[in-house]
Amino acid sequence: MSNGKKEEAVKSKKIILIVEDDEVLLRALYAFFHKSEYTIATANDGDTAVKMAQRLKPNIILLDLILPKMDGFRVLEILKAIPEFKKTPIIILSNLSDSADMAKAKALGAHSYFIKSNVNLAKIAETINEII
């Protein structure tokens, strides 16, 4: 969903990087936010997410925790260790509902934590709009 041409357009709008390996959910998130005033970039694994974040410098990141190649906790840890990402809001969107997972994500620097089964896209959009 993200290619060179779309990356050129990225410069003019606020950027949301969506990191999700479930293709159906990724497409739903992309479709929902693509209609907004944001430019959307997507990644479906942790390794690609880190590389895209470094290249695109998104204004906000929606991050799943269970990802191939590198889990979301590691992505969060790597990005928050980079000075330019210390203040970048990263919203966790995961099926992990254990309080220990939530606490770990917050300790690593997550701004918000949503459990996929307990939240709708409108609530996520509301949170993004409040942050940006």
The domain ranges of the chain are: 4-131
In our burial notation (b when 16+ CB lie closer than 10 A, e otherwise), range 23-62 reads: eeebeebbebbeeeebbbbbbbbbebbbebbeebebbbbb
Whole-number pLDDT of residue 115: 94
Name the one residue in this structure whose structure tokens are 């917050």. 106
Whole-number pLDDT of residue 104: 97
Whole-number pLDDT of residue 29: 86
| CATH number at 4-131 | 3.40.50.2300
Whole-number pLDDT of residue 106: 96
Going from the C-alpha of 53 to that of each of 97, 98, 107, the distances in angstroms are: 25, 27, 20
- For the chain, 132 residues long, the average pLDDT of each consecutive 10-residue run is 45 84 88 82 96 95 96 96 94 94 96 91 86 81
Whole-number pLDDT of residue 132: 77
